[in-house]
Structure 1
Amino acid sequence: MVYLSSLFFLGSDGQPSNARAKKNKKSSSGLPSRRSQWWTWTTVLINIAAALFTLDFLIRGLVLFPSTDVSFSRIGYVSPTTASLLLREPDPAQLPVVVSYQEASSPSSQKWTQEGTVYKLDNSTDFTAAVVLKNLKPATHYRYSLSNNRTGTFVTAPRPGSPAANRLCFVTSSCLKPNFPYNVFSHPLKVPGIEQMTEALGKLPALLRPAFMLFLGDFVYIDVPFRFGSSMDHYRSEYRRIYSSPSWAARSVNGPAIDLPWIHTLDDHEIENDWSQGNKTAPYPAAADPFLHYHVAANPPVPEKAFAHPDDVTYFSFINGPASFFMLDTRTYRSAPSHDNSTILGYAQLQSLLAYLATPEPAGVHWKIISSSVPFTKNWRVGTTDTWGGFLNERRTVFEAMWHAEREVGVRIILLSGDRHEFGATRFPDPILELPPSALQPNTPGLGLHEFSVGPLSMFYLPVRSYYQTDEEDVSVKYAPDGNSKFGYIEIADGVDEVDPTAPNPVPVRSSIFTYSLYVDGEVVWKYRLSVPLAPAAGKDATQTSGKNASLPPGRVLEDKLVQEGWDVAVKTAIGRTEELARRVMKTASEVYHDVSARIPGGRETS
């Protein structure tokens, strides 16, 4: 308003004409000027347009799509014999909702099985309900139908120990925001990343269809770009708007996007940026309500050893084919970071994770996959304390248990994370290996626990470089910051791999092979392989290549299409390190100040 009001005084600034002329010659085109009226009014129109676009981005979805009447259904966790179905139906005329299913292979000859009837839906759960479909056949394609005309399909997990259980494909990502990047002509609730992912996955052979999406937090952004409130209804409305997105109807040969089962972890933007105040402080209780109803209700079961009452647990564990999963909650139980006793997991969850790591897996399960909403690596130098980098003592405890499990339990451990709007692959070598410096150089594949951190599925990416290696504990493997849509596609399957591909005569051995494919804006740009030997290599004892004390092969890059770093990278890296430099300067200045104060007579006491 101030800017627009100034336009009325273009010729009335109270200055002599010659003085005004001199001033106008020096005026920039961004300021109202009588002598540059064409540029002035062009600037006015640009500023008005920018303001209207900003307003449109902020409130069009909020005002035009309150989504109180959204009705949908989706599949969450799927086991060999069950499938968790979540539905929302606010229209009382549709009640009761009858849930049925049948095998999809031959629908004409298959009878519908009625699983259950939902008689009541009300505001206590925001009109949602979860129904578990039971008595299903393993590795079977099903369709379900609701009496309110909602339908979908899903595939059950394979029976443990069966040939189908040797293979698993799934996708992982984090962070999504409707209509980002902003497009004035786009539907305000469109999520481009979901559509790109659906199209990309639709190009895969049927055998490689992903079993589920492991989504690692920031499903909603309550505080980006602006927080309109902190009530329970504000949080619920964000979930409703996401599930109102037309992008869920995007189709491929696998069906609509909504048919891909999603399982979820919680992160900060579903509560408040960099949240670390526990699960009792406001606004956590209001934020947790829709997360429980929309996501936890259809998530996997809690661990057998949860060390807490199941109703108070938001971390999960399950097995699918050759992999066992532990889904961490790194928000609900965390304390303030950067203290000796800081915890990111809380006592019960930490004990549950340690018990899980120490427990041998059933025959045929060769991978323990740990998911975290924030990265384990401290190589991200911006906002490091919000990651595991702010909880290094607890991280060390967890890493020691993981290294021990790889040596003694006979599994290989993979870490998956999100949050950063960038991709980073990092490895954490076991100190007992005593690797030479040449094996710990930045941007190298090799031995160690491996973490793959990816995001966003549909959001902005950072224009500066914020990830780099600073020591030999966190060895960078690959960094890919660019791209508004990123996800990881993971395939685990039996095959033949080389125990030591760097040897003069590599020895092939039957293995369970983990392949990570990074997709950026719908295209594969990088692939990486890890493996677990399932049989002894020629000339080696079985205990050296399989089971306990296994010598796990190093990881290796299979494909790399990423653009080589150019001249701009140094500039972007320097900008990205500004926060770290400022923090170090402030810390040093504070230490000097306190030290000097302690030495001056009358200063603070040194006792």
Structure 2
Amino acid sequence: MVSLRRVVVAASSATIRLTAFVFLRWIPGYPFSPIIFTSLIIYLSSLFSLAKDDQPSEDRPEKGGKNSTKEHVHESDATDSGDSALKTLLTGLPSKGSPAWTWATALINVGVALLALDFLVRGFLVYPTEDVTFSRIGYVSPTTANLVFREPDTAQLPVVVSYQEASQNTQKWIQEGTVYKIDNSTDFTAAVKLKNLKPGTHYRYSLSNNNTGTFVTSPRPGTPEANRMSFVTSSCLKPNFPYSIVSHPLRVPGIEQMTEALAKLPALLKPAFMLFLGDFIYIDVPFRFGSSMDHYRSEYRRIYSSPSWDFKSDNATAIDLPWIHTLDDHEIENDWSKGNKTAPYPAAADPFTHYHVSGNPPVPAKSFAHPDDVTYFSFVNGPASFFMVDTRTYRSEPSQPNSTILGYAQLRSLLHYISTPEPPGVHWKIISSSVPFTKNWHVGNTDTWGGFLDERRIVFEAMWRAERTFGIRIVLLSGDRHEFGATRFPDPELALSSDELQPNTAGLGLHEFSVGPLSMFYLPIRTYRQTDTEDVAVKYAPDGNNKFGLVNIAEEVGSSGRISVLTYSLYVDGEVVWKYQLSVPVRRTGGRTLPPGRVLEDKLTREGWDAVFKTAIGTIEEIGSVVLKKARVAYEELLERLQKAEGLN
């Protein structure tokens, strides 16, 4: 008969190994590390107790008389039965015949737990990064560029900022400004706007603390160069994941893969900027070490300390690509929906403001709030205008009466932007959101716009009306899900047939492209599927630790005249796997149906037999989350009734 202690040893050993594999290579979730280390304590204590009892009887004192000896002999015989090195190494059980194998299997489990500990704390302890210095470019217009830098060494003050055209090495440097004071109030960061620049020009900048970089200004509106532009978009990054013991703990593989992929592009497709849609840091994954302002600041410093920013491919680096940012939950707290006054939001907003907002585009002209309180942005670049919504700062609890994901002022600002005609030459309105608009994701759906369907309907109706009225095209971009999903939302007035509303079809409607992660885990289960004709699935690509989208807009000559064409290219692990195209006539024709989208390229393999299994797991998780939510609501209602009854008594 197998003893309870042997079951405990084998079970705790299996838990350590399986959980560590999931933690290091699959999903670095916060529950896993406590499970690993608790299981290790149980395993070691049970193992040594069992190994001690398995010693030969002549080597240990007898206890409990004859019956005890017989019981031990019986257990020892069971241990000898099938005792082998392979069994010991695989199960973690002790080997009576060879103590060396017992030590070996114990060391395997200790080593696995140490790898988890290394992933958990090496970056946090070994790289506190108080002394990190960097510079980067944020939003770039035809005549300006926002420069953000950090300099904690006061001996470097004042910091002089200069620039010159990159094509003229002999040209003297133009001094833009001098920063005399940097202190801890901004975590030693500062922002400087480079002004009086020439449109469509390659520049280099230099700081007196030896930080340098390059950038290209946007083309002048109305020029032929303004008819085309490219940019990249993604979300979610975590250093050194999937985990590698030989990798730098702050290395971000996705940034390096993106740098290599972009370096291969022809000059006309080189992106003008990165539109990063949230989760730049993961304050609570794999473990929250604190919620103070200093903890949040240290996470930003660690990301900007990553060697991946300086990774070169064809002399290009990621730090020279302008990045503009949207806020999401892991920069605050998972599934955040408690507004901008509740802790830890104020602590989280501080570094986001200094490191990212200071380099972001301007706030909308009609923000309907004081500019200092606005975290949504709007700008124009070439043939497209952009509105970057903030779905975290102003949101309330989802799936409640009058739930809001935008807040009153931001909703008014977005609706004003949608209903405002664009100037000639601007053919696209691109609206970015940190979370998907589609409700086709069925796990965590309430954390997306799926938890705010009334407000979504208001926004969609404004978008459909704008497309009909202005003859302009609206495209939605989002992130957050660690998967890729392309979805279209047909205007009900189009009265499309059932064939035109089938899943996995290109066609008419507002289009959303949701992509992530840039460098993080992906979900091994299938949670995206079409359930009605409001959200029509176009493409689903869940796999891949590193994903980003390249958006290219250019003018072409079509059968009915000149058209502006938007091509979305999905990159997975550094390779293009899917391309989709949308177009809009250059000559505006309000009230006319816009052309349908079409697939240009699809290298994604069809789902195998495992897709059914993965989809089933996703469905079980969806049902489980619903059941747990209802149980929680019922529990809270019961507590409330008991409290009322107790009050009456």
Asked if Structure 1 and Structure 2 have the same fold, meaning a TM-score greater than 0.5 normalized by the shorter chain, the answer is yes
2:133 to 68, 71, 85: 71
- The aligned residue for residue 553 of structure 1 is 595
Match of 2:53, as an amino acid? S
Identity in percent: 73
- The aligned residue for residue 232 of structure 1 is 293
Match of 2:562, as an amino acid? R
**Aligned CA distance change for structure 1 residues 352 and 66 (closer, same or farther; 3 Å):** same
| Structure 2 SS opposite 1:274 | coil
Q: Does 2:583 align with 1:531?
A: yes
How far apart, CA to CA, are the structure 2 residues paired with 1:390 and 1:246? 38
2:351 to 272, 286, 290: 290
**Aligned CA distance change for structure 1 residues 80 and 589 (closer, same or farther; 3 Å):** closer
Match of 2:164, as an amino acid? Q
How far apart, CA to CA, are the structure 2 residues paired with 1:377 and 1:559? 23
Q: Does 2:12 align with 1:12?
A: no
- The aligned residue for residue 566 of structure 2 is 514
**Aligned CA distance change for structure 1 residues 192 and 436 (closer, same or farther; 3 Å):** same
Tell me, yes or no, if the aligned pair for 2:162 and 2:206 is still in contact at 8 Å. yes
Q: Displacement, 1:120?
A: 0.4
How far apart, CA to CA, are the structure 1 residues paired with 2:500 and 2:177? 57
How far apart, CA to CA, are the structure 1 residues paired with 2:498 and 2:130? 59
How far apart, CA to CA, are the structure 1 residues paired with 2:125 and 2:633? 50
For 1:450-461, what aligned pairs fall within 5 Å after superposition?
Answer: 450-461=511-522
1:172 to 233, 249, 266: 233
Tell me, yes or no, if the aligned pair for 2:92 and 2:106 is still in contact at 8 Å. no
| Structure 1 SS opposite 2:348 | helix
Q: Displacement, 1:231?
A: 0.3
**Aligned CA distance change for structure 1 residues 381 and 115 (closer, same or farther; 3 Å):** same
| Structure 2 SS opposite 1:11 | helix
How far apart, CA to CA, are the structure 2 residues paired with 1:310 and 1:60? 40
Q: Does 2:417 align with 1:353?
A: no
Tell me, yes or no, if the aligned pair for 2:471 and 2:594 is still in contact at 8 Å. no
Q: Does 2:117 align with 1:55?
A: yes
**Aligned CA distance change for structure 1 residues 217 and 378 (closer, same or farther; 3 Å):** same
How far apart, CA to CA, are the structure 2 residues paired with 1:167 and 1:75? 21
**Aligned CA distance change for structure 1 residues 235 and 588 (closer, same or farther; 3 Å):** closer
Tell me, yes or no, if the aligned pair for 1:419 and 1:454 is still in contact at 8 Å. yes
Tell me, yes or no, if the aligned pair for 1:142 and 1:155 is still in contact at 8 Å. yes
How far apart, CA to CA, are the structure 1 residues paired with 2:110 and 2:236? 31
1:435 to 496, 502, 506: 496
2:76 to 21, 28, 50: 21
Tell me, yes or no, if the aligned pair for 2:95 and 2:101 is still in contact at 8 Å. no
- The aligned residue for residue 35 of structure 2 is none
**Aligned CA distance change for structure 1 residues 295 and 570 (closer, same or farther; 3 Å):** same
Match of 2:623, as an amino acid? L
Match of 2:118, as an amino acid? D
How far apart, CA to CA, are the structure 1 residues paired with 2:446 and 2:97? 50
- The aligned residue for residue 6 of structure 2 is none
Q: Report which of the two has the higher share of helix.
A: 2
How far apart, CA to CA, are the structure 1 residues paired with 2:72 and 2:239? 52
Q: Does 2:162 align with 1:100?
A: yes
- The aligned residue for residue 467 of structure 2 is 406
- The aligned residue for residue 528 of structure 2 is 467
1:325 to 374, 386, 399: 386
Tell me, yes or no, if the aligned pair for 1:76 and 1:299 is still in contact at 8 Å. yes
Tell me, yes or no, if the aligned pair for 2:325 and 2:356 is still in contact at 8 Å. yes
Q: Does 2:246 align with 1:185?
A: yes
How far apart, CA to CA, are the structure 1 residues paired with 2:606 and 2:105? 39
Q: Displacement, 1:21?
A: 3.1
- The aligned residue for residue 13 of structure 2 is none
**Aligned CA distance change for structure 1 residues 459 and 593 (closer, same or farther; 3 Å):** closer
1:200 to 257, 261, 278: 261
Q: Displacement, 1:18?
A: 3.2
Point out the structure with max Rg over C-alpha: 2
| Structure 2 SS opposite 1:164 | helix
How far apart, CA to CA, are the structure 2 residues paired with 1:311 and 1:233? 22
Match of 2:150, as an amino acid? R
Q: Does 2:330 align with 1:278?
A: no
For 1:294-313, what aligned pairs fall within 5 Å after superposition?
Answer: 294-313=355-374
Match of 1:46, as an amino acid? I
How far apart, CA to CA, are the structure 2 residues paired with 1:489 and 1:349? 27
Q: Does 2:476 align with 1:415?
A: yes
| Structure 2 SS opposite 1:385 | helix
Tell me, yes or no, if the aligned pair for 2:139 and 2:360 is still in contact at 8 Å. yes
**TM-score (structure 1 length as normaliser):** 0.92
Q: Does 2:433 align with 1:372?
A: yes
Match of 1:362, as an amino acid? P
Q: Displacement, 1:44?
A: 1.1
- The aligned residue for residue 574 of structure 1 is 616
How far apart, CA to CA, are the structure 1 residues paired with 2:474 and 2:74? 74
How far apart, CA to CA, are the structure 1 residues paired with 2:441 and 2:251? 30
Match of 1:334, as an amino acid? R
Q: Does 2:521 align with 1:480?
A: no
Tell me, yes or no, if the aligned pair for 1:375 and 1:387 is still in contact at 8 Å. yes
Q: Displacement, 1:237?
A: 0.1
Tell me, yes or no, if the aligned pair for 1:528 and 1:559 is still in contact at 8 Å. yes
Tell me, yes or no, if the aligned pair for 1:337 and 1:385 is still in contact at 8 Å. yes
Q: Displacement, 1:3?
A: 2.5
Match of 1:174, as an amino acid? S
Tell me, yes or no, if the aligned pair for 2:197 and 2:217 is still in contact at 8 Å. yes
How far apart, CA to CA, are the structure 2 residues paired with 1:263 and 1:226? 27
Tell me, yes or no, if the aligned pair for 2:53 and 2:72 is still in contact at 8 Å. no
More off after superposition, 79-88 vs 573-582: 573-582
**TM-score (structure 2 length as normaliser):** 0.86
More off after superposition, 84-93 vs 16-25: 16-25
How far apart, CA to CA, are the structure 2 residues paired with 1:195 and 1:360? 39
Alignment deviations for residues 176-227 of structure 1 (CA, whole Å, 9 cap, x no partner): 0001110000000000000000000000111211000000000000000000
Alignment deviations for residues 36-75 of structure 1 (CA, whole Å, 9 cap, x no partner): 6565433312211111101100111111110000000000
How far apart, CA to CA, are the structure 1 residues paired with 2:311 and 2:557? 37
| Structure 1 SS opposite 2:256 | helix
| Structure 1 SS opposite 2:623 | helix
Match of 2:72, as an amino acid? S
Q: Cα RMSD over matched residues?
A: 2.0
Segments of 5+ residues of structure 1 without an aligned counterpart are 498-506, 536-545, 595-602
For 1:39-188, what aligned pairs fall within 5 Å after superposition?
Answer: 40-108=102-170, 110-188=171-249
More off after superposition, 576-585 vs 138-147: 576-585
How far apart, CA to CA, are the structure 1 residues paired with 2:408 and 2:128? 39
**Aligned CA distance change for structure 1 residues 281 and 591 (closer, same or farther; 3 Å):** closer
